[in-house]
């Protein structure tokens, strides 16, 4: 299946959107689809992190987050659930770092481009990531400009952005396997995992926040402190 604007005469591109997906919500899915459409990708991998080294531990068990991600991705064949980081974390017994994931993928697919997708809020804290200065040696960064989030204007991340920024149609991005930062201004849904968990805990409807398959799974397994489905007549 070819998305609108599919890359032609360029290096094959693998899109990756990583996260704890605690839980996966419509904002995640909208972001992945937007990247597919804007960059002309056949698919985007949604890569589940067991526990990022720079964030708090997820609330839902790893197995539950993986199952919710699988259910959400099943609704769109362009979205590919990816458990690579889970498997590595289990193997090495510690958090799996993004740079290690990219090193592994680069070794497996040396002739393909890899684009790691992050939000502009995450970009602002990029210099807190493990071995962050090596990321562009391994991949492109695709930054989704979120509502209300400005790009860094000073400091080391701003300097990196100024040096490596390219347009989505720039040959440097289209024909090289790594090394650029592309900023996409796309309409983003105003939803976060925190707001989803808050709504769930308060017993409010999450029909406009989650795929139905995911909300059903949450009610069935009583995740995030829920006790009953507000949409149920029982």
DSSP annotation of 56:
P
pLDDT computed for residue 88 by the predictor: 87
Find out whether 184 and 145 touch, Cβ atoms under 8 Å: yes
Quote the CA–CA distance of 121 and 152 in Å, as a whole number: 9
Write down the CATH superfamily of domain 13-189.
HUPs (3.40.50.620)
Whole-angstrom CA distances from 172 to 16, 103, 181, 222 are 19, 21, 10, 48
45 Cβ partners below 8 Å, 6+ apart? 14, 15, 16, 17, 80, 81, 82
**Mean residue pLDDT across the chain:** 89
For residue 100, the number of C-alpha atoms closer than 13 Å in the C-beta half-sphere is 15
Query: Which of 45-54, 77-86, 190-199 bottoms out in mean pLDDT, i.e. has the lowest?
Result: 45-54
Higher per-residue pLDDT: 126 or 42: 126
Residue 57 has pLDDT above 90, yes or no: no
Tens of pLDDT, residues 136-161? 999 999 999 976 678 999 999 999 99
């Amino acid at each position: 299946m070819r998305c609108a604007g599919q890359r032609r005469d360029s290096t094959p591109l693998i899109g990756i959107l990583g996260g704890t997906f605690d839980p996966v919500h419509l904002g995640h899915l909208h972001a992945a689809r937007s990247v597919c459409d804007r960059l002309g990708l056949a698919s985007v991998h949604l890569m589940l992190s067991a526990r990022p080294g720079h964030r708090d531990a997820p609330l839902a068990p790893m197995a539950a987050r993986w199952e919710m991600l699988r259910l959400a991705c099943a609704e769109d064949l362009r979205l590919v659930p990816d458990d690579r980081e889970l498997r590595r974390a289990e193997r090495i017994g510690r958090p799996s770092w993004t740079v290690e994931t990219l090193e592994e993928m680069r070794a497996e697919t040396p002739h393909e481009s890899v684009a790691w997708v992050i939000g502009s809020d995450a970009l602002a804290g990029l210099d807190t990531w493990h071995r962050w200065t090596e990321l562009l040696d391994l991949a492109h960064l695709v930054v989704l400009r979120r509502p209300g989030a400005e790009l860094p204007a000073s400091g080391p991340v701003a300097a990196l952005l100024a040096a490596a920024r390219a347009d989505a149609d720039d040959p440097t991005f289209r024909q090289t396997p790594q090394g650029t930062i592309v900023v996409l201004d796309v309409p983003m849904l105003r939803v976060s995992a925190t707001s989803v968990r808050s709504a769930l805990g308060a017993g409010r409807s999450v029909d406009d926040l989650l795929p139905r398959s995911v909300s059903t799974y949450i009610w069935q397994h009583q995740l995030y402190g829920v006790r009953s489905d507000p949409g149920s007549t029982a």
